[in-house]
Chain A
Amino acid sequence: MTVLESSNSTTNKVLGHPLNAWYVAAWDHEVTRKPMARRIADRPLALYRTEDGKAVALADACWHRLAPLSLGKTVGKDGIQCPYHGIVYNSAGRCASMPAQESINPSATVPSFPVVERYRFVWVWLGDPTKADPGLVPDMHQMDSPDWAGDGQTILAPCNYQLVLDNLMDLTHEEFVHASSIGQEELSESDFVVTHDDRTVTVTRWMHNIDAPPFWLKNMRDKFPGFEGKVDRWQIIRFEAPSTIRIDVGVAKAGTGAPEGDRSQSVNGYVMNTISPETAKSCHYFWAFMRNYRLDSQLITTQLRNGVHGVFGEDEAMLTAQQEAIDANPDYEFYSLNIDAGGMWVRRLIERMLQAEGRLTAAL
C-alpha cells in the first residue's frame, strides 16, 4: 500500500473505500436468528438478530482461536455461541461465558459494529464508532414509502465497487450494453448537466420527443393502456457518498410539460442502488426498482424486478470482463472522457473522505 501524495488521482483503477460510512450489509429479510456470514469493506461479519429482533453485526472471528462465529448459533436473549469451543458473546461482543472456568477473561471481546435498520436494509458502520451518526444513512426513502412499490435483488459483482459507481453515473453505456431494453442512440446524442456538493453528485439528462425503448413503452402502456407516440425521457442520477445512487427515471407523453415539472402524463421509477465493497475486487451490489403507479400490482413488481435483473445481468457481464481486463493489463492506465464527469466527481468526493480518514491509499 502506497500513500498517494496527490488528491488529483481520480483515475485509480482500484479505489479504496471509506470506513466512516454506513454500508448495507444485507436486506432486512436476510438477517435472522440463524447467524450468517458476509464480508463488508474487507471485514468478515457475523450477522444475526436478537430475540427482540435487533440486528447485530459482530466480527466473524472468535476471540479465542478466530473460528467463524457465523457457523455458530444464537443463544439466550441476545447471544451467539462459537461453534468450536462454546464461548458465548452478547450482542455488544462481550464474552458472557467461557468453557471450563468459573470466571470470564475480561479481555475476551469481539468487535461489535454499529447497526441501523432502515429502508429495508441492515446498514453497518465499520469505522470510528463515535462518528456513527444514523443521520448519515443515505436517503433511500422510496424503498419503504407508501407512495412507492417495488422490489430488488443483490448482485455479487466480481469488481472494485468503484467500477459499479462509474457504470451508474454514466448511462450512455445503455446504448451499447442494453440495446434491446433501454438503450437508444439519443442517450449519447443528448446533453447532460452535472452538479455536486460535499456529499452528492447529480447528473441530469433529458431526451425530448423520442421513441420510447421497449422497457419504457411497456411501462407507459401499464399506466396508459394502448399508448402510442413520442415521449420525453429523463434520467436524473443522484449519488450520495460513499456508494449510494438513486436514479429518477421515466418517460412522459412528448410535450406534456414533464421537463418543467408536470409529470402527470408520465411513468416514473426510481432505480435504487447501493454498493458495499466486499474486497478490493468484489462488491455487494444491492438494487431495487421502485415505481409510483399501480402500486397494488404484484405482477408489475415482479415484471419490473425480472426486467431490471436482465438489464443488470448485462452490466454484471461487462463489469466482470472489465475487472479481468484491468487485472490482465496492470501496466495500462485509465483515461477519461467528457461523459465521465459524474463518475469523476464521485471519485473525488470518495478520495476526500479517504483523505479525511488518513487512508488515501492505492493498493498497488
Chain B
Amino acid sequence: MAATNNEVWQSAKVVAVSDVAAGIRRIELEPSAPKHAEPGSHVDVTVAINGQQEKRSYSVVESIDGGKTLVVSVFKAPVSRGGSVFMHTLQPGDILRITQPLQNFPLRVGAERYVLLAGGIGITAIMNMAAVLRNVKADYTIVYAGRNRAAMAYLQDLQDLHGARLQVHVDDEGSSLDVNALVGNLEPGVELYMCGPIRLMDAVRRGWTERELELPDLRYETFGNSGWHDPEEFLVRIPRLGVEAKVGQGRSMLEALEDAGVDMMFDCRKGECGLCEVRILDLNGAIDHRDVFYSQRQQHAAEKMCCCVSRAVSSATGSRANANSSGFPAVVTIDVS
C-alpha cells in the first residue's frame, strides 16, 4: 500500500538461525526500531555479494511481540544471484541493515472465504496470513505444494496449527497439485492469495481468467526471481548505442545494461510496473518472461520484455543440453527508451 511503504532502514541483530527444511534456513532478527509486520509484509535486506552491497526482499514469516522479533526464512537457490548464499552465512550476533516491514501483499480481513496457495519457499509469504486468519476465525484453506517433504519448510508447524485446513501436495509422493482442479472448484467470491514459482502462479492466473473470476480477488506477490527456465548466461545487444553486454546467470538484464553504462528507466525492478520495457528487434533463442506486467498474449508475441526480471534462454525448452546446434548462448537484440 502506497501509504505505508516508506523505506525506513535500521540495524537488526541476528539472534538465532536454524534449518527448517533442506536448503531453507530460519533467521530470527531483532530490529533496532521495531515495527509490527502485518501479514503479507516483507523486509528489504542489504546483502553483500562479491563485496558489493545489494538489496534483497524476504517475506516476514512471523512478527513476534509487536515486531520486536522478525523471522525470515531463506531458501538457498541452486542458481543463486548471491543473496541467499550470503543469508545462509549469517550467525547469531551478526548485524544486518534491514528496512522496517514493507507491504505489497496486504491481507484483507472480512472476505467470506480464503484459499492460501504456497509453492515451495512461497510458504514464507503465506504463514503469517494463515495465522491471522485463524485468529480472526475466518474460513480458509491452505494449499501447500512442494517437491518432497524434506524440502517443505514448516510442514509440522502448519499441521499443528491449522489441522484439516491444511492441504499438502507432494510431487515425490504422487500427490502433485492439480491447478486446474483447484481453480475449477473455487466458488466465486473466494479470495485466493498465492506465492510460489512463476509456473504455478501463471497456471493459476490462466485458470482464473478462463473462469472469468474477479481479477481483484486473485492476490499474489512476486519478487521476480523465478522463471519457466533456469537462468542462463546470454548476450544483449543495442545496435543504436553500439552496446553488447553479457548477462551472467546471477545478474539481471537491467543490471547488466546499467553496468554497461546504458541510461535505463525502471521503477519496481520486480516485473510489475512495465517501466523497464525494452523492444525486441531480433532474438536467437527464446524469452523467459518472468514478469506479471504483460498479458499471456503479449508474452507470446515476444515483441517486448521487462528487462528487470525476464531473460533470454538458448532454446524454447530452456535447457542448454537441447540448445541450438551451435551451443552458443542466446542473443537478444533490443532497443531502449
**Taking beta carbons and an 8 Å cutoff, which residues of A are in contact with B?**
59, 61, 63, 66, 90, 92-96, 101-107, 109-112, 114, 129-130, 132, 358
Contact = CB atoms under 8 A, between A and B. Distances in A.
Interface residues of B, number: 33
B215 A132 contact: no
Contacts of B109: 114, 129-130, 132
Interface stretch (B152-160, B161-169, B287-295, B314-322): B287-295
Nearest to B293: A103
Given A90-B216, A129-B109, A358-B66, A102 B294 contact: yes
B110 A129 contact: yes
A102 B216 contact: no
B3 interface: yes
Contacts of A109: 1, 106
Contacts of A114: 109-110
A119 to B, nearest CB: 21
B2 interface: yes
B132 A130 contact: yes
A107 B104 contact: yes
Given A92-B216, A102-B295, A109-B1, 19 more contacts: A59-B1, A61-B3, A94-B219, A96-B216, A101-B293, A102-B294, A102-B297, A102-B298, A105-B292, A106-B222, A106-B292, A107-B105, A110-B3, A112-B108, A114-B109, A129-B110, A130-B135, A130-B136, A132-B109
A106 B216 CA distance: 8
A110 B298 contact: no
B1 A63 contact: yes
A130 B131 CA distance: 11
Given A101-B274, A106-B221, A63 B2 contact: yes
A93 B110 CA distance: 13
Contacts of A96: 214-216
B156 to A, nearest CB: 25
A126 to B, nearest CB: 11
B188 to A, nearest CB: 13
Interface string B217-232: 1011110000000000
Given A95-B216, A130-B109, A111 B136 contact: no
Interface in B1-59: 1-4
Nearest to B39: A130
A228 B12 CA distance: 76
B26 to A, nearest CB: 24
A103 B295 contact: yes
A132 B136 CA distance: 10
Contacts of B273: 105
Contact of B268 (A61, A90, A107, A110): A107
A61 B216 contact: no
A105 B105 CA distance: 11
Contacts of B106: 109, 111
A130 B129 CA distance: 11
Given A105-B273, A130-B136, A59 B3 contact: yes
B41 to A, nearest CB: 12
A319 B11 CA distance: 45
12 contacts: A63-B1, A93-B108, A101-B274, A103-B293, A104-B216, A105-B293, A106-B105, A106-B219, A106-B222, A111-B3, A111-B106, A114-B109
Most buried by B among A90, A110, A111: A111
B233 interface: no
Closest 9 CB pairs of A and B: A94-B216, A102-B295, A129-B109, A107-B104, A105-B272, A63-B2, A90-B216, A96-B216, A92-B108
Of the listed residues B4, B106, B222, B293, the one surrounded by the most CB atoms of chain A closer than 10 A to its CB is B106
Contacts of A101: 274, 293
Nearest to A92: B108
A103 B299 CA distance: 11
Contacts of A61: 2-3
Nearest to B294: A103
A354 to B, nearest CB: 14
A103 B292 contact: yes
Nearest to A65: B2
Contacts of A103: 292-295
B1 to A, nearest CB: 5
Interface string B100-141: 000011101111000000000000000000001001100000
A109 B215 CA distance: 13
Nearest to A66: B2
Given A105-B293, A130-B135, A110 B220 contact: no
Contacts of B108: 92-94, 112, 129
Contacts of A106: 104-105, 219-222, 272, 292
A104 B110 contact: no
Contacts of B1: 59, 63, 109-111
A63 B294 CA distance: 20
A3 to B, nearest CB: 12
A66 B3 CA distance: 9
